[in-house]
Every structure is written in structure tokens, then in C-alpha cells.
Amino acid sequence: MRATMMDYPLTLTHYLERAGTLLRDSEIVTRLPDKSLHRYLYGDFHRRARRLASALARAGLKRGDPVATMMWNNYPHEECYFGVPCAGGVLHTLNFRLHPNDIAYIANHAGDRFVIVDDVLLPLFEKVRPEIAPERVFVVALSGAPVPEGYESYEDLLATGDPDDDLPTPDERDACGVCYTSGTTGRPKGVVYSHRAIVLHTMAMCMTEPFGMSQHDSVMPVVPMFHANGWGLPFAAAAAGARIVLPGPHLDPVSLLDLCEAVQVTFAAGVPTIWNGILQALDAEPERWSLDLRFRTAVGGSAASEAMIRGFDRHGIRTIHAWGMTEMTPLGTAALLKATMQGLDEDAAYGYRAKQGTALPFVDMRLMNDAGIVPWDGETMGEVQVRGPWIAAAYHDSGELGDKWTDDGWLRTGDVATIDAEGYMKITDRTKDLIKSGGEWISSVDLENALMGHPSVSEAAVIAARHEKWDERPLAVIVLKDGAEADADALQSHLAAGFAKWWLPDDYVFVDEIPRTSTGKFLKSALRERFEGLLVEGSGGG
């Protein structure tokens, strides 16, 4: 028997049209650079995104041409998220926190034809502009100042388009977006997404589990829209018809909490650094904000500690720990308790919620080590390998595949983890961050999470320091909370309760801040450069 279904293409055009018809009264709220709120409805957004698509096509954009954005999270960026792919183009969201040389490399490597840039980011763009050769640059004037000479205006571009023009019908396998990895080694690499990949990823995100987004939600991506498709939220929230809340450049804890209160955000997503700051602000003034009772957050990008998850629960905010990567569009797992786990005691339940969680539908996952496939016993570590319809099979124009993909077609994530009998993955390290002491692995992430559970510790990064006898030993780099005190002995006894003696750090270094990558992860390579010799030199050869 043969299937009798239509071969209907899975493209973003469908979501855009739906936004303009069935969902036209949903709202998009943006916090502008002057902190005022810009509000409009999906109906307006739909017309403007179509206008943009038409204007780009009239300006000569061809199928598969990249259009770069250098923008904060704001409504014109949301228009680009749909307008560019629906014109047949490829949205290239530039990570403006990178060094200008890297931004230029990425823009040139992608071959960006047009660039759309926020006026408040022009000083940065000016540093990149001499190194790149886009045909046209359009400026979004959000700050109220006129568009400077030498640039075209985004609004003028829109005026050249007609929202009633026919949109092209892309193939579902056509490219619609590209993000470059924020890896800390080697040149950045481009991951090119297809309409089909984003559509399926969107469907998975909107399921009741993991995130259950709906028209009743107000969804705020704190994660920048340049980081791995803004974790899929600008698509998923629009598909669900949720109110979309875009915080613009104001990402300090108090500004974010004020915005959450003002528009009653129910779902927000970002890296642990952001949430750590927010938790400290809430702890300091628990009565100051009155937040929506349904407020929940997706935290990922690096590990969320159990202490943070417990801390937010005290304020009635539910943390959903999630894991993914640019190569995975990005979502791979989320940590929700299974129905059968509702009766677990509190500690066990938190244990599961602090893991990175179980795989989404259509994400196949396995762990591999030197002996082959690792059993799901919650103890044996292996490298996480994945495959699925929204997982990259290659990098853009990078020649060969290198060792990033296995011979049988799985993506090697570079993350080391255990998976337990219930299927919950727990990341223990990046392959390159593992600490090998006397031939045995020590998980820096476990130690970091435990240290961040100490009441005086704001942040902790544990790195491998060179050691003459053991090759490598853990060294903890600590940032204390403002006004808090704790010395190495106090931290060591805090850890001693939960870890084997040989796992305990050999030394503690106290610093004002931990250097970060452009997407907010600990930049451990910089810490290693600075401190890896400490045990050898500092302890007389240990």
C-alpha cells in the first residue's frame, strides 16, 4: 500500500501567513534603547515582514542569498527572522559580541549581500565595515536619531516593498538561516538551517513538554537572537501566537525584572549568568516585583546548578534546564520530571531537574567511549552523539567534515555525559575541559555546581591545572557574592561532604570575575592560560 498524503512543504512562510490571519491580534512588545515600550500586533508584523520580503526581492535578492543582521532583540529583528527566509533569502544573525575581525571573517565567509544594523550598534559596525563588502547596509533607527550619512534606512527599504506581492515558494530543504558557532578554538564555522529543520524544531518546542507555549503566554527571549536562532524562540513563540517580549539592549537583572512585571512574562530563556544575576536581585528584594504565577524559564547554554533551580523555586519560578548547541538548531534535551516521578522525594527530584534532561522527539542520542556504546547506567561517561532532522550534517563551505561526524553519520557534540536508566543525560564536561588526574576523569561541572551551591559563592569555574605527579589536578576559580566571605578551607569542607577526596580541588583562586565567551559561557581556555601552572610553580612541584 502506498501513502496517500499530500507532499506539503514545511516552510516558514506558513507560520508567517498564520501570524497574519489566525493570530493577528497577538502582540509583540519591544523595549527600545530609551527604555520606552514599542507595541504592535502580529497583523502589523505580518504586513511589515511581507513588505521586507518584497523589498528584498525587488532589490535583487536571489534564492539562497544571505542577509546579515547586527541587531538586538527587537521587533525589526523579528521581521527579519521571517521576512528574509520568506523572500527566499538566508538570515545570517551576526554575533556582535565577537571581535570585529571575527565578525568580518564570518560575514565574508557567509558572503553576506545586505546588512541590516541597529543604529545603536553602528559604532561597532563601523569597525567591521572596512573589512567587508556588502552591497547595501540598512540602518534601523530605534534611538530616534536620523540615519547617518552613508547609510540607507530600513524604513525606506520597507517602503519600496509591497506586502501584497506574491512570496516565492521555497523548497522545504532550502537554506533559510545561518549561525556561526561560538566555539573557542579554530575559526568560527557556519551551520546552515533549512526551512524544514526550523519548522520541525518549532513544532517540538511548542509541545506541552518541554515548553508548552501558547497564546496565553508572554515569551521573552533574553538569549540574543544571534545565538543559535535565539534558541528557536522567535519562531516558536510566533507559531504559538504568544505575546513576544523583546528586551532590546537592557539586560541587567533589574531592567529585566521590571519588564517581566510590566508585561507579565510567563516564559523566558537565557544563560545561567543572566539567571544568577536575577536570582540575586530577587533574593535581595523578594517583595519588589509581582510576577506572573505561571512564570517559568528555560536555562541552558551552560549548566544550570541545582542551587539555582532551588533558589528560583523559592520565588515561585520554575526553571527548566535545557541543553543544545548551534549545530542542533539548537534544542536537544530538557529536564522535566516524568509523570511517574511525581512521588519522588525532594532531593531526588531536584537531582533529575538539575540534569540536562531527556531527548526531544526526533533527537536520537547515544554515548560513546573507547569501548563503544556506553550503557545508560547513570555512571559511565561517554561522548554525546546525536542525529535528527534539525541536526547539522556538515558545516558551510568548510571543505571536509573533519572528525565532527562519525562514519555512521552521528554528530559528535564534544560534550561528555552520563545517561541514567530513565534516559536523563547529565553533562560532566566538554571533552576539552575534562580533568584527568592520575588517569581518572574528574568532572569539573559537578564540582562547579556544588561550589555554586555554597551561600557565599556567586560563580565557580574548575579547570585542569598541570601537576607533576598526577598530570592534572582540579583548581577552582571563585567569584564571591558582594560582601560575602569564604576561604579555601570553608569551600573545601563544603565539597568534602559530597565528593571523593581525590576529586577535591588542590587549590582555590579568588577573582573579581570569570572571563566569558561572547555568548556568556565561562571562557575556561583563558583561565587555563592564566592559572594552569599554579600548582606546579605555586606549590613547589606538588
Binding positions for ligand AMP, 474-513, rule CB under 6 A: none
Contact stretch for ligand AMP (CB under 6 A) within 386-394, 412-420, 463-471, 497-505 = 412-420
Q: Does 276 sit near ligand AMP (CB under 6 A)?
A: no
Contact (Cβ atoms closer than 8 angstroms) between residue 415 and residue 443:
no
**Cβ neighbour number for residue 272 with a 10 Å cutoff:** 23
Instruction: Please check whether residue 471 is in contact with residue 437, taking contact to mean a CB–CB distance below 8 angstroms.
Output: yes
User: Could you give the 3-state DSSP secondary structure of residue 416?
Assistant: strand
Helix (H, G, I), strand (E, B) or coil at 117: strand
| 436 catalytic residue (yes or no) | yes
Catalytic position from the list 78, 327, 459, 472: 327
CB of 87 to ligand AMP, least distance (A): 27
Site map (CB under 6 A) of ligand AMP, residues 163-182, x = contact: ------------------xx
Do 115 and 70 form a contact (C-beta atoms < 8 A)?
A: yes
Grouping H, G, I as helix, E, B as strand and the rest as coil, residue 232 is helix
* The binder of ligand AMP chosen from 73, 319, 413, 449 (CB under 6 A): 413
Among 376, 519, 520, 524, binds ligand AMP (CB under 6 A): 519
Binding mask 310-329 for ligand AMP (x = CB under 6 A): -----------xxxxxx---
Comparing CB distances to ligand AMP, the nearer of 158 and 198 is 198
CB of 25 to ligand AMP, least distance (A): 34
Nearest-approach distance from CB 170 to ligand AMP, in angstroms: 25
DSSP secondary structure code for residue 367 in this structure = E
Q: Whose Cβ is closer to ligand AMP: residue 300's or residue 453's?
A: 300
* 327 a catalytic residue: yes
Angle between helices 272-284 and 306-314 (to 10 degrees): 40
- Of the listed 436, 469, 502, 529, which one is catalytic? 436
| Min CB(327)–ligand AMP separation in Å | 7
The residues facing 507 across adjacent strands are: 475
In three-state secondary structure terms, 137 is strand
Is residue 340 annotated as a catalytic residue, yes or no? no
Strands 382-387 and 372-373: unpaired
Catalytic site residue from 261, 422, 441, 532: 441
Collapsing DSSP to helix, strand or coil, 92 comes out as strand
- 29 or 223: whose CB is closer to ligand AMP? 223
Q: Of 55 and 325, which has the nearer Cβ to ligand AMP?
A: 325
Contact call for residue 390 and ligand AMP (CB under 6 A): no
**Which residue shows C-alpha cell 585542569?**
464
Pairing of strands 114-118, 90-93: unpaired
Shortest gap between Cβ of 191 and ligand AMP (angstroms)? Answer: 8
Q: Is 333 a catalytic residue?
A: no
Q: Is 232 left (phi over 0), alpha (psi -120 to 50) or beta?
A: left
238 phi and psi, to 5 degrees? -70, -35
CB of 521 to ligand AMP, least distance (A): 6
222 near ligand AMP, judged by CB under 6 A = no
CA 492, 494, 495, 497 torsion-angle sign? positive
How far apart (Å, rounded) are the C-alpha atoms in residues 505 and 190? 37
Query: Residue written as cell 550619512?
Result: 149
Which residues contact residue 311 at a Cβ distance below 8 angstroms, ignoring those fewer than 6 apart? 279, 283
SS3 444: helix
Residue of 73, 218, 229, 356 that binds ligand AMP (CB under 6 A): 356
User: Of 161, 301, 382, 505, which lies in the binding site for ligand AMP, with binding defined by CB under 6 A?
Assistant: 301
As a whole number of angstroms, the distance between CA 226 and CA 207 comes to: 24
| Identified binder of ligand AMP from the candidate list 11, 302, 329, 437, rule CB under 6 A | 302
**Which range, of 243-251, 346-354, 410-418, 495-503, touches ligand AMP by CB under 6 A?**
410-418
Say whether residue 300 binds ligand AMP (CB under 6 A): yes
State the minimum distance, in angstroms, from the CB of residue 433 to ligand AMP: 9
Q: Where are the alpha helices (DSSP H) in 96-190?
A: 100-110, 122-128, 154-159
* Least gap, CB of 201 to ligand AMP (angstroms): 14
- Taking CB under 6 A as the criterion, which residues in 134-153 touch ligand AMP? none
In the structure grid, which three cell numbers stand for residue 84, read together?
528574509
Q: Which is nearer to ligand AMP, 28 or 442 (CB)?
A: 442
Q: Based on CB atoms, which residue is closest to ligand AMP, 56 or 331?
A: 331
**Residue 146: all three cell numbers together:** 536620523
Query: What number of chain residues touch ligand AMP (CB under 6 A)?
Result: 21
> ω before 210 within 30° of 0 (cis)?
yes
Q: Which residues are catalytic?
A: 181, 327, 436, 441
Name the site residues for ligand AMP (rule: CB under 6 A).
Answer: 181-182, 228, 300-303, 321-326, 330, 356, 413-415, 427, 430, 519
